[in-house]
Chain A
Amino acid sequence: MVEAARALPTLAATPSTLLRWIPLLPLIAAVVHGVMLGLLRRTLSRGAVIALSVGSVIASFLLSVVAFGQLIGLPEGQRAFVDDVYTWIGAGRFSAEMSFLLDPLSAVMILVVTGVGSLIHVYSVGYMDDDHRDDKGFQRFFCYLNLFTFSMLMLVLGDNLLVLFLGWEGVGLCSYLLIGFWYMDKWNAYCGSKAFIVNRIGDFGFLLGIFLLFSSLAAAGHPTVAFRDIAAAFPRIAEQTVQMPDLLGGGEWKLATLIGVLFFVGAMGKSAQIPLYVWLPDAMAGPTPVSALIHAATMVTAGVYMVCRLNFVYTAGPGAAALVAWIGGVTALFAATIAITQTDIKKVLAYSTVSQLGYMFVAAGCGAFSGAIFHLATHAFFKALLFLGAGSVILAMHHEQDVDKMGGLRKAIPITHWTFLVGVLAISGIPFFSGFFSKDEILLAAHGAEQIPGHEALWAIGLFTAGLTALYMFRLYFRTFHGSFRGTSEQLHHVHEPAQTVLVPLVVLAVLSAAGGLIGVPQVYGDILGVKNANSLAHFLAQVVGLHEAEVPQAEELRLAALAVLVASIGIALAWWLYVQAPSVPQRVRESVGWAYRLLFGKYYVDELYDMLFVNPLKWISENVFYKGVDAGLVDGVLVNGSANAVQAVAARALKYLQSGFAQSYLFFMVAGALAIVAWLVV
């Protein structure tokens, strides 16, 4: 497109037409469903829906595996496939291609998205089977789920910012549609709207980031939005400074920092970080497979992916990186404290997701981008497992989600119990489960991140949160599966292990949660076992995000890991003591520090605060100024009805008498008018 951009040392990529089929297959399925439901007003049979939807996602997964195999076959450092489908937007010097990029980063992402996505599609077949609220519901659900998979694949495969943004908005739309899937219940529709609106606030920052990045690059002679070109051109603008307006404290900011902060605002919305996390817990109103796929494993990690994709921005803008790390750390702690008191099984998992996403941002902010992606992948495994396990419990309990009404379920639903336990062990960071390796990498990165102000405190927060994580997860586990049953005897009688399609994904995900950490074993264990490049994930990703070498002595690293395990064990022991050994203690604690309990149980009253500060004033202004004043008053009253009334008033009182009914008087006006025109032309 532009000579200057050509001159950049852009990473070469091998063409491949395979890539387009990976997002296209789920799109085809979604379009078929959409046309059937929306235009033809008929439903496919249940078997056809399953074959089309589940089949397309599994096919997409197989294609991803093939593409991944081909990528591995390329020489190291040049691993990139690109698929230029067509020129999407071309305007003068600017052009945005509809093109896909498969490099190590997007390869990991598509494997997670299609792999976990396939399992959750299979699970949904069993889970949505007992939904009789709406006869089109089954097909509608899979239509949205396929559309989501398509959007998410666009997001991670997009070769430029605009394709990424298209996917970004697409997943937001599907999230909205699926949260409010049972829209007949007004609360679900409200939660869907809330998710959508809060995400729009983040998207605003994201868009500004795209604009600023593009205009800065264009000013430097590189009008491009393609990632590899941006990565090559970015060093030429990174050192520029921007004068900030007085409203934001004035002063000069590095351009890289400002761009990084704007992009991170987008990530805050999508990945549920303070202050825009409030939508995610309410998103649990959607069906449980949706919570697992969209609100735990894939969509909410889009912000982490985006920060890693733009890693060069955060490397060049230390201020933005510090913000990312600190927001992540504070969010991790904040959400974990809320999770301790919640009694809805899905709410606990939702706050846990917010907290774990915080961990990923700590890693990304500290420069350990591969650590962030590692935790993203392992979290996708164990959090999907936990959500699907929770869904299995919810099915067994006939849509009861309150853990206060559960207990002792381990005998009634043994497979769910064992797989759930694996997930709990993985998220708690018990050695050699997947979460252990990824969480340790993050804590180590925070410990050694000298460039982040207060990185020691950040590390301490991460460590403490690890203990809290073990505490609240084991609390959930003990409350659900141990002790005595607290529901009605009617419920107990009906508790049963769900269908095969529900159980198989659970078992597969349990294996992945247990062993998934092996893709990124820290080198320190590799040294002990005599393996070179043990952290295969980090080396694989190094081409895109660089290699983050921990400069910590081996003994120190092992000591830190042991400390993390110790803290997690304390959390587990505490949970065991509180919820199994001495179940009366939590009640007494609750009574003795009632205000603290109420603060946590009320989720720090952040929703109420936002209602007071933003939602209610906006509603008031909308109602009284924009609706009553502008819409009803000005537009309807003055402009539309007012002009009509004015014409009517004049016509009814005076003008109508011109219409006398005498043809000759009309003729007279005509002649007079013609004469007037002639007179005006001549004189």
Chain B
Amino acid sequence: MVPLSHVIWLSAALFTIGVIGALTRRNLIVILMSIELMLNAVNLSLVGFARVWGDLGGQVFVLMVIAVAAAEVAVGLGIVISLFRNRDSVNVEDVSLLKW
């Protein structure tokens, strides 16, 4: 059986990659992918803990997160598509009008 520490290390690594990706990449599609990565990093740790404690609640919660993430991606991609139609660009630096 895989020890819990491995699961946590993997989850932390994935989450960090996701954060760095979301902070540094300029392509909106990649940013969305990075957010998915963070969500799944959390899912991984939830599943790991659920198995260790023998509590199915964690796994149920993961299913919930996946469902919400699917909805979120649908909305996010919709925004990206409509942005591309208007701006011919999916670069996050091109959408900075809402400021002082």
> Which residues of A pack against B, CB within 8 Å?
656-657, 659-664, 667-668, 671
Q: Is the CB of B96 within 8 A of A662?
A: yes
A-B contact count (CB 8 A): 26
Q: Is the CB of A662 within 8 A of B93?
A: yes
Interface residues of B in 77-100 (CB under 8 A from A): 92-93, 95-100
Interface residues of B in 24-69 (CB under 8 A from A): 24, 31
Bound Cα distance A663, B24 (Å)? 11
A-B contacts, 6 of them at CB < 8 A, read A661-B99, A663-B92, A663-B95, A663-B96, A664-B24, A671-B19
Bound Cα distance A626, B6 (Å)? 72
Q: Is the CB of B23 within 8 A of A664?
A: yes
Within the complex, which residue of A659, A667, A671 is in contact with B100, where a contact is CB–CB below 8 Å?
A659
Bound Cα distance A664, B24 (Å)? 8
Q: Is the CB of B23 within 8 A of A668?
A: yes
Known: A659-B100, A667-B22; 14 extra A-B contacts, CB below 8 A, are: A656-B100, A657-B100, A659-B99, A660-B99, A661-B96, A661-B97, A662-B96, A663-B92, A664-B23, A664-B31, A664-B92, A668-B23, A671-B19, A671-B23
Bound Cα distance A662, B98 (Å)? 8
A9 to chain B, nearest CB (A): 74
Q: Is the CB of A667 within 8 A of B23?
A: yes
Chain A residues contacting B31 (CB-CB under 8 Å) are 664
Chain B residues contacting A662 (CB-CB under 8 Å) are 92-93, 96
Chain A residues contacting B95 (CB-CB under 8 Å) are 663
A148 to chain B, nearest CB (A): 63
Within the complex, which residue of A656, A657, A661, A671 is in contact with B98, where a contact is CB–CB below 8 Å?
A661
Bound Cα distance A664, B32 (Å)? 12
Chain A residues contacting B96 (CB-CB under 8 Å) are 660-663
Chain B residues contacting A667 (CB-CB under 8 Å) are 22-23
Bound Cα distance A660, B97 (Å)? 9
Bound Cα distance A664, B91 (Å)? 12
B31 to chain A, nearest CB (A): 8
Bound Cα distance A662, B19 (Å)? 16
A653 to chain B, nearest CB (A): 12
Bound Cα distance A664, B94 (Å)? 12
Closest 10 CB pairs of A and B: A661-B99, A661-B96, A656-B100, A659-B100, A662-B96, A659-B99, A661-B98, A660-B99, A668-B23, A664-B23
Chain A residues contacting B98 (CB-CB under 8 Å) are 661
Chain B residues contacting A657 (CB-CB under 8 Å) are 100
Bound Cα distance A671, B22 (Å)? 11
Chain A residues contacting B24 (CB-CB under 8 Å) are 664
Bound Cα distance A660, B98 (Å)? 8
Bound Cα distance A660, B19 (Å)? 20
Bound Cα distance A661, B92 (Å)? 10
B46 to chain A, nearest CB (A): 18
Bound Cα distance A664, B19 (Å)? 11
Within the complex, which residue of B22, B97, B99, B100 is in contact with A664, where a contact is CB–CB below 8 Å?
B22
A675: nearest residue on chain B (CB-CB)? B19
Chain B residues contacting A664 (CB-CB under 8 Å) are 22-24, 31, 92
Bound Cα distance A659, B22 (Å)? 19
Bound Cα distance A656, B100 (Å)? 6
Chain A residues contacting B100 (CB-CB under 8 Å) are 656-657, 659
A577 to chain B, nearest CB (A): 94
Chain B residues contacting A668 (CB-CB under 8 Å) are 23
Chain A residues contacting B19 (CB-CB under 8 Å) are 671
A655: nearest residue on chain B (CB-CB)? B100
A668: nearest residue on chain B (CB-CB)? B23
B96: nearest residue on chain A (CB-CB)? A661
Chain B residues contacting A663 (CB-CB under 8 Å) are 92, 95-96
B98: nearest residue on chain A (CB-CB)? A661
Chain A residues contacting B23 (CB-CB under 8 Å) are 664, 667-668, 671
Chain B residues contacting A660 (CB-CB under 8 Å) are 96, 99
Bound Cα distance A473, B100 (Å)? 83
Bound Cα distance A657, B100 (Å)? 7
Bound Cα distance A664, B31 (Å)? 10
A659 to chain B, nearest CB (A): 5
Bound Cα distance A656, B98 (Å)? 12
Bound Cα distance A516, B19 (Å)? 100
Bound Cα distance A667, B99 (Å)? 15
B20: nearest residue on chain A (CB-CB)? A671
Bound Cα distance A664, B93 (Å)? 9
B19: nearest residue on chain A (CB-CB)? A671
Bound Cα distance A659, B97 (Å)? 11
Produce 1/0 per residue, B7-22, CB < 8 A to A: 0000000000001001
Bound Cα distance A157, B83 (Å)? 80
A651: nearest residue on chain B (CB-CB)? B100
Chain A residues contacting B93 (CB-CB under 8 Å) are 662
A428 to chain B, nearest CB (A): 87
A47 to chain B, nearest CB (A): 69
B95: nearest residue on chain A (CB-CB)? A663
Chain B residues contacting A671 (CB-CB under 8 Å) are 19, 23
Chain A residues contacting B22 (CB-CB under 8 Å) are 664, 667
B3 to chain A, nearest CB (A): 22
Chain A residues contacting B97 (CB-CB under 8 Å) are 661
Residue of B24, B97, B99 contacting most chain A CB atoms (<10 Å): B99
Residue of B19, B31, B92, B100 contacting most chain A CB atoms (<10 Å): B100
Chain B residues contacting A656 (CB-CB under 8 Å) are 100
Bound Cα distance A242, B37 (Å)? 83
B99: nearest residue on chain A (CB-CB)? A661
Chain A residues contacting B99 (CB-CB under 8 Å) are 659-661
B28: nearest residue on chain A (CB-CB)? A663
B64 to chain A, nearest CB (A): 22
Bound Cα distance A664, B99 (Å)? 13
Bound Cα distance A378, B19 (Å)? 96
Residue of A657, A660, A661, A671 contacting most chain B CB atoms (<10 Å): A661
B22 to chain A, nearest CB (A): 6
A652: nearest residue on chain B (CB-CB)? B100
A162 to chain B, nearest CB (A): 61
Bound Cα distance A581, B22 (Å)? 113
Bound Cα distance A663, B98 (Å)? 10
A666 to chain B, nearest CB (A): 11
A658 to chain B, nearest CB (A): 9
B100: nearest residue on chain A (CB-CB)? A656
Bound Cα distance A46, B21 (Å)? 85
Chain B residues contacting A661 (CB-CB under 8 Å) are 96-99
A79 to chain B, nearest CB (A): 80
Bound Cα distance A664, B95 (Å)? 11
Bound Cα distance A671, B19 (Å)? 8
B24: nearest residue on chain A (CB-CB)? A664
A176 to chain B, nearest CB (A): 56
B8 to chain A, nearest CB (A): 15
B96 to chain A, nearest CB (A): 4
Bound Cα distance A663, B96 (Å)? 8
